[in-house]
């Protein structure tokens, strides 16, 4: 068991935070090219990630940042889209939520669902006044959860390093 697990007896397992939202895409969701608009999927991703963050932290959590969102395949009208989210990593008051979006094609529903997007978002638990509050640690259960936890730490380190580099550049 890794250090963050033994130091975190009051945490919640990763599986506790897992949430899935599903939706059939319709004509109002499309862009000028007739496929589903990226902004529609981004809202869907933010919604499911927010639900996972709220469940894990046992209260309100706000979106602080979207670290990355990749659209790997187009989504079409009629596709049944599922967004799966889980808390990958926790800090003091922040959480990284990973989201995997898959589509069941309306015209080949017996085929395996296709991955259409992947995203990583940072949420911060907040109190009634909107101030950050401490969130309980997430406890990875499987080797895959552990991998995601470590990769979230890499993304955080890169984000902080990039912020420091930009700050230093601005200060000349």
- 100 in helix, strand or coil? strand
Task: Pick the piece of the chain touching ligand COA (CB under 6 A) from 5-13, 62-70, 72-80, 106-114.
Answer: 62-70
- Say whether residue 85 binds ligand COA (CB under 6 A): no
- Say whether residue 14 binds ligand COA (CB under 6 A): no
- Distance, first Cα to last Cα, the chain: 44
- Pick from 48, 93, 121, 148 the residue near ligand COA by CB under 6 A: 93
Question: For ligand COA, which is the closer residue by CB, 99 or 124?
Answer: 124
Question: For ligand COA, which is the closer residue by CB, 45 or 122?
Answer: 122
Nearest-angstrom CA–CA distance, 170 and 172:
5
**Nearest in space to 135 (alpha carbons), one of 146, 124, 149, 145:** 124
**Nearest in space to 34 (alpha carbons), one of 90, 69, 76, 68:** 76
Residues between 111 and 150 that touch ligand COA (CB under 6 A) = 122, 124, 126, 130, 132
Question: Which residue lies nearest ligand COA, judged by its C-beta?
Answer: 91
x/- letters, 20..59, toward ligand COA (CB under 6 A): ----------------------------------------
Question: For ligand COA, which is the closer residue by CB, 20 or 60?
Answer: 60
Question: For ligand COA, which is the closer residue by CB, 38 or 132?
Answer: 132
- CA max distance for the chain: 58
Question: For ligand COA, which is the closer residue by CB, 75 or 97?
Answer: 97
- Cβ-defined contacts of 107-116 (< 8 Å, 24+): 107/78, 109/80, 113/82, 114/73, 115/72, 115/73, 116/41, 116/71, 116/72, 116/73, 116/74, 116/75, 116/81
Interface ranges with ligand COA (CB under 6 A)? 62-65, 91-94, 122, 124, 126, 130, 132
């Amino acid at each position: 068991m890794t250090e963050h697990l033994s130091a975190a007896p009051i945490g919640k397992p990763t599986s506790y935070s897992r949430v899935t939202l599903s939706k059939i895409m319709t004509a109002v969701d499309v862009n000028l090219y007739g496929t589903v608009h990226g902004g529609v999927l981004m809202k869907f991703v933010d919604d499911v990630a927010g639900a996972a963050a709220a469940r894990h932290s046992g209260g309100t959590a706000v979106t602080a940042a979207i670290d990355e969102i990749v659209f790997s395949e187009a989504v079409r009208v009629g596709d049944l889209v599922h967004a799966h989210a889980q808390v990958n990593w926790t800090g003091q008051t922040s959480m990284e939520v990973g989201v995997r979006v898959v589509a069941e094609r309306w015209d080949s529903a017996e085929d395996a669902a296709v991955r259409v997007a992947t995203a990583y978002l940072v949420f911060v638990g907040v109190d009634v006044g909107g101030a950050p509050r401490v969130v309980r640690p997430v406890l990875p259960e499987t080797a895959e959860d552990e991998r995601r936890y470590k990769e979230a730490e890499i993304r955080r380190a890169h984000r902080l390093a990039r912020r420091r580099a930009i700050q230093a550049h601005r200060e000349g």
